[in-house]
Chains A and B, each alone.
Chain A
Amino acid sequence: MNKLSRRDFIASTGIGLTCWVSGVGVLLSPQQAQAAAIPLETLTDTQATTLGALGNALVPGARNAGLVQYVDNQLGVDNTLLILKYLGVDNAAMPGFYRTALDSAYGHCQNLFQTTPLKLTAAQAHRWAGSIAGGADSSWRGPPAGFFFFVVRADACDVVFGSRQGTEDIGAPFMAHIEPTEPW
């Protein structure tokens, strides 16, 4: 797939992630967007790697399932699919919600282990996530750490368990009336 510029990346129509590749609209799953290294629209690289690391610590497989691409893409649309929509946060406030909390999560990782989220061992990542669930520390800024934990965990569950594959992987029948276009 051709390398894309940020300018080429447009908001989702709500069915997968719609990207422009060489002037042609292409529908990608978050997983495909991750594999294709589609540029991010809202999150910085550090925020994105922090989100991927935290999501993976909470729900193994979330990073490869395209958690970062899903969240970043849905922060740029009017009628978002993010669970945050149900939790009393305005659409316009959602980018700031994630950015500020991810910066805090990155800082909390530094405070705990003097390293970046990407370099954490599995045990450290688990402890980091658990500490965020418990309120992190006084340097935390943005939404309450425990609430942010819940939201990222829910986002990660959406991309891992929300598809036919993810549902059937835990032994539950998917039983779609209308089969979702990739991936949901």
Chain B
Amino acid sequence: MVGVSNGTASTPAYDTIVVGSGASGSIVAAALAAAGQSVLILEAGPRRELAELTSSQLFARRLKWSGAPVEEEGNHTIGHGFNAGFGAGGSALHHYGVWPRLHSNDFDVLSKHGKNLDWPIGYEDLRPYYDAVQSDVGLSGDAEAEIWRPQGAPYPLPPLPVFKQGKVIDRGFRAMGLSTAPIPMAINSIPNNGAPGCTYDGWCDAGCPIGALKNPLVTHLARAQKLGVDIRYDAQVSRVLMSSDAQRVAKGVEYFDSHGAKHTVNAATVVIAAFAVQSVRILLNSQYADGVAVGDRGAKLGRYLMTHPGCTVFGLFKDPTDPHLGPTGGQLICHDHYDDKTAIKDSFGSYQWLIANAVKPNGLLGYANSRPDIFGAELKPFMQRAAKHIGNMLYVGEDSSSAENRILLSDRRDKFGVPIARTIHNAGPEQDAQLAFAMAEGKQIFRAAGATEVWTGPRAPIHIMGGAVMGSDPELSVTNDLGKVHHTDNLYVVGPSTFPTSGAVNPTFTVSALAYRTAEHLASKN
């Protein structure tokens, strides 16, 4: 542990401190500033500008986590270096803008199936916040075509177009009696809110400099700055400072600047929004006077770490596919396998297909690395063919909420002397069975679509969730349904850390809806 606050009484310098400038942190900061609060954002990484979002798979890597190392163990490690962002906008700066909603059956998994966990809220509790976010941000999509879509307002913008790759692969889905729809995306299909429509050049992973993809630099972080929120970059928060005379009260945070100088700053409310692993690390490094980590009275802090199992199906088609066109996140979506979590033998959970992702030659998701068995003189002919004729789609599966998958503190320390995070994540036989089923299905779909060669990539971790899960019972969870840490009065966690189950959809829409809900609550306390 880093140490214990001396409990010195002090006047809060801010109404609210928000730790992290990603999707959830910037939403809360903007909302509270709009409600008249003084707000400080502490961001571990650097300032980012749209003008530095260069179109390059290499430069894209600068947007990913570059703070304290994260140790990863298990048979399905969480891929922190790929999934976590670093700097203004957090992980949402490089996210792909794929924004499906969780389904109602994602919220009561324990009650219905005796597995995983229940959320303390249901879909209907979150629905108005999904609607508010999509209206505010401006989602593109076709609600009617999403025959599986939970109830909600139609999308404010028309769907993004489907290009050749999507049309080719869609033939396979239709041939197998499966449904597809345009992916609901936080990407402008037409100019909106002063930002242009997407140009479909597939550079989403490098960050969208024109603001067509709704990253925080053009949405809530920009709004927060306009409303006067203070932001300190390169400010690595090490712990929450708890008042020793009133153990339930967080009085502020301690952080290190880029020069290694230690600072403390006080606030009436502290909101941790540092993405899944670092949010938990901060809490684990914070202590009550009796030595228990803040948020760990129920011994659940760090537990239920989740990542979606993902795997890509690739194929070469005779038809041209123009694989460079479209969003990185894909063009079409299929949720036909979502609503029955027990449909597959020896498996459990939902899964989705994200179809026809724009793909580049190089990079971890590029087609060069999809076939590491091809090298030497054979490589260029393959690349030339793939550049015109490759198709791909991504399976996203549901993870289990296992208490054994967790975030701990390592014995190692970062450059400031703060213990780093150690993560343990294993996939079980149910995830293995679902993946095997989905890969067999995916290959069949591609062959039905006319692929002449089909192959699959390795299982990969996509997104990171859990570790500070919300729940009704303080003994079984870390926060309540609003993200307030149990046994505290003014300490909140927002972001994917609080998810009790992963579902099988990209989390940013749900992260945003939950943050709207927490922000509404905090603003009402004024």
Contacts and interface: CB of A to CB of B under 8 A. Distances in A.
Interface of A: 14-15, 57-60, 78-83, 85-88, 90-92, 126, 129-130, 133, 149-150, 153-154, 157-158, 160-162, 166-167, 170-181, 184
Interface of B: 51, 53-59, 61-62, 64, 66, 69, 72, 77, 79-82, 86, 199, 201-203, 206, 208-210, 323-324, 360-364, 366, 368-369, 372-373, 375-377, 379-380, 383-384, 387-388
B57 A129 contact: no
A81 B368 contact: no
Contacts of A85: 61, 64, 66, 81
Contact of B362 (A133, A162, A171, A180): A162
Nearest to B83: A86
A68 B21 CA distance: 36
23 contacts: A14-B59, A60-B377, A81-B62, A85-B64, A86-B61, A91-B66, A133-B375, A153-B368, A158-B362, A158-B363, A160-B362, A170-B383, A170-B384, A170-B387, A171-B387, A172-B387, A177-B201, A178-B54, A178-B209, A180-B54, A184-B54, A184-B58, A184-B59
A161 B368 contact: yes
A92 B69 contact: yes
Given A81-B62, A161-B362, A58 B53 contact: no
Given A157-B369, A158-B362, A161-B383, A173 B324 contact: yes
Q: How would you classify the secondary structure of chain B's contact residues: helix, strand, loop or mixed?
A: loop
A81 B58 contact: yes
A130 B377 CA distance: 13
A175 B324 CA distance: 9
Contact of A154 (B54, B362, B373, B383): B362
B209 to A, nearest CB: 5
B209 A157 contact: no
Contact of A172 (B59, B79, B361, B372): B361
Nearest to A92: B69
Contacts of B62: 14, 79, 81
A170 B367 CA distance: 12
A161 B369 CA distance: 11
A12 to B, nearest CB: 11
A176 B59 CA distance: 12
A157 B368 CA distance: 7
A120 B363 CA distance: 29
Given A88-B72, A153-B372, 15 more contacts: A15-B59, A78-B66, A85-B64, A91-B69, A129-B376, A153-B369, A154-B362, A157-B368, A157-B369, A162-B363, A175-B203, A176-B54, A177-B199, A180-B54, A184-B57
